[in-house]
Amino acid sequence: MAKPASYKFCFGPWNISEGGDPYGPTTRPPQTFDWKFDQLKKLGYDAMMFHDDDAVPDIDGKSSSQVIKEAKALKKRLDDAGIAAEMTAPRLWFSPQTIDGAYTSNDPKARQYAIDRSLQCIDIGKILGTDLLVLWLAREGTYLRESKSGKKSVELLVKAFDKMLAHDKKVRLAIEPKPNEPMDHAYVPTIGHALAMAQLTSDQKRVGALIETAHCILAGLDPADEIDFAMAFGKLWSLHLNDQNGLKFDQDKPFGSANLRSAFNQVRVLERNKYGSKGEYICFDVHPFRPTKVEHTLAHLDNSRRTFLRLVEKARSFDEAKVSQLIGERDYQALDQMVIEHLLGKD
Ligand code: XUL
Ligand code: MN
């Protein structure tokens, strides 16, 4: 029998966070990048995700030669530690230039800033050895519908994507949809929207998607179905597994924390579609709960990976022949109970 696939894992420096929320200050001291970097391998992870300013802090105040110098120094550190860079992503939602949106801002100077910063982010990715540019379109949407045109915004997004595709013939864009937060309504809320947008670009083969569990749930959709949908198009190039307790603020809970059955179904479709066989990583976009003590600051990352691996075992030991039999008999009551008892440990 062929050896079952093994998975590669990653997280970003922002996933070791300090517990601040809009209603209160941080609850843990910040950890340095160096400390986070050193924990990665110890936790059994293989790669790190980088916003452009995770890779080069205070990026806006630096000359391009300085940015390149710092990216090269980071690449050396990554190589020395045996850590890969999974992706880079322009963090376009912090800057004063993007208050009214980045690629879809009503201000042409803001749009240019967003594009210039994205092209620079592609260059950083190239130095770090990744061709994957993740685009979470945080401020591409509206607080009030009358302030922008949806059709014009699609055109502006496609124009921005085309500039990125032309800038580097190897780069692949992975759009990370999210329906809301920080915006009231985002222009690219689901995987269907992301893949439809890909069709309008100058090189649709290089435009794909990243699915985040919590973002699917915020859109009222089933994460496993979204994964299946993207993989039916060969377009799932990265994944942010986490969890989310319904239609609330973006919670980024540990994987499986709110809905273990949904987590099982996500793992089952990943297994069925052989996610990872083209080098794709399992990334956990998770955060510690606000009350977490400093000594437990890494538990959410360790736990998410452990839960994932346990669910891989559960997916592999799920009696698929029995499933087919029950489907054939249209005995969905028995199928439902079979899933529950399998997850409870009674096989
Ligand atoms: C925001 C989110 C981001 C992206 C990376 O909800 O998920 O952290 O994953 O830019
Ligand atoms: Mn994410």
Per-residue 3-state assignment (H helix, E strand, C coil) for 25-38: CCCCCCCCHHHHHH
- pLDDT for the residue numbered 220: 98
How far is Cα 7 from Cα 307, in angstroms, rounded to an integer? 13
Nearest CA to ligand 1 atom 8: 285
φ, ψ of residue 207 to 5 degrees: the values are -125, 115
> Residue 200 in 3-state DSSP?
helix
**How far is the centre of ligand 2, averaged over its atoms, from the C-alpha of 242 (Å)?**
9
Distance of CA 14 to the CA centre of its chain: 12
Intervals of the chain under pLDDT 50: 1-3
Ligand 1 atom closest to Cα of residue 138: 1
**How far is the centre of ligand 2, averaged over its atoms, from the C-alpha of 340 (Å)?**
29
Nearest CA to ligand 1 atom 4: 136
Nearest CA to ligand 1 atom 2: 136
Nearest CA to ligand 1 atom 1: 136
Contact between residue 253 and residue 286 where contact means Cβ atoms under 8 Å apart: yes
- pLDDT for the residue numbered 122: 99
Mutate to test the pocket of ligand 1, among 176, 251, 253, 281 (most ligand atoms within 8 A of CB): 176
**How far is the centre of ligand 1, averaged over its atoms, from the C-alpha of 50 (Å)?**
11
Nearest CA to ligand 1 atom 5: 136
* Helix 191-200 and helix 150-167, axial crossing angle in degrees, nearest 10: 70
Closest-CA residue to 7 (of 318, 304, 321, 252): 304
Dump pLDDT digits (tens) for 288-318: 999 999 999 999 999 999 999 999 999 999 9
**How far is the centre of ligand 2, averaged over its atoms, from the C-alpha of 106 (Å)?**
26
- pLDDT for the residue numbered 346: 61
Supply the pTM of this predicted model.
0.97
Q: Which residues have CB under 6 Å of ligand 1? A: 89, 134, 136, 176, 178, 212, 240, 250, 285
φ, ψ of residue 196 to 5 degrees: the values are -65, -40
- pLDDT for the residue numbered 1: 41
Sign of the C-alpha dihedral computed for residues 47, 51, 57 and 59 taken in this order: positive
Contact between residue 40 and residue 82 where contact means Cβ atoms under 8 Å apart: no
How far is Cα 180 from Cα 214, in angstroms, rounded to an integer? 11
- pLDDT for the residue numbered 180: 97
**Residue partners of 50: CB distance under 8 A and separation at least 6:** 12, 13, 85, 87, 88, 89, 124, 128
**How far is the centre of ligand 2, averaged over its atoms, from the C-alpha of 33 (Å)?**
19
Mutate to test the pocket of ligand 1, among 135, 180, 240 (most ligand atoms within 8 A of CB): 240
- pLDDT for the residue numbered 47: 98
Mutate to test the pocket of ligand 1, among 136, 173, 211 (most ligand atoms within 8 A of CB): 136
**How far is the centre of ligand 1, averaged over its atoms, from the C-alpha of 111 (Å)?**
20
Nearest CA to ligand 1 atom 7: 285
**How far is the centre of ligand 2, averaged over its atoms, from the C-alpha of 163 (Å)?**
23
- pLDDT for the residue numbered 3: 47
Dump pLDDT digits (tens) for 155-196: 999 999 999 999 999 999 999 999 999 999 999 999 999 999
**How far is the centre of ligand 2, averaged over its atoms, from the C-alpha of 212 (Å)?**
6
Burial label for 85, CB within 10 Å (0-12, 13-18, 19+), is: buried
Closest-CA residue to 70 (of 12, 123, 132): 123
Contact between residue 302 and residue 295 where contact means Cβ atoms under 8 Å apart: no
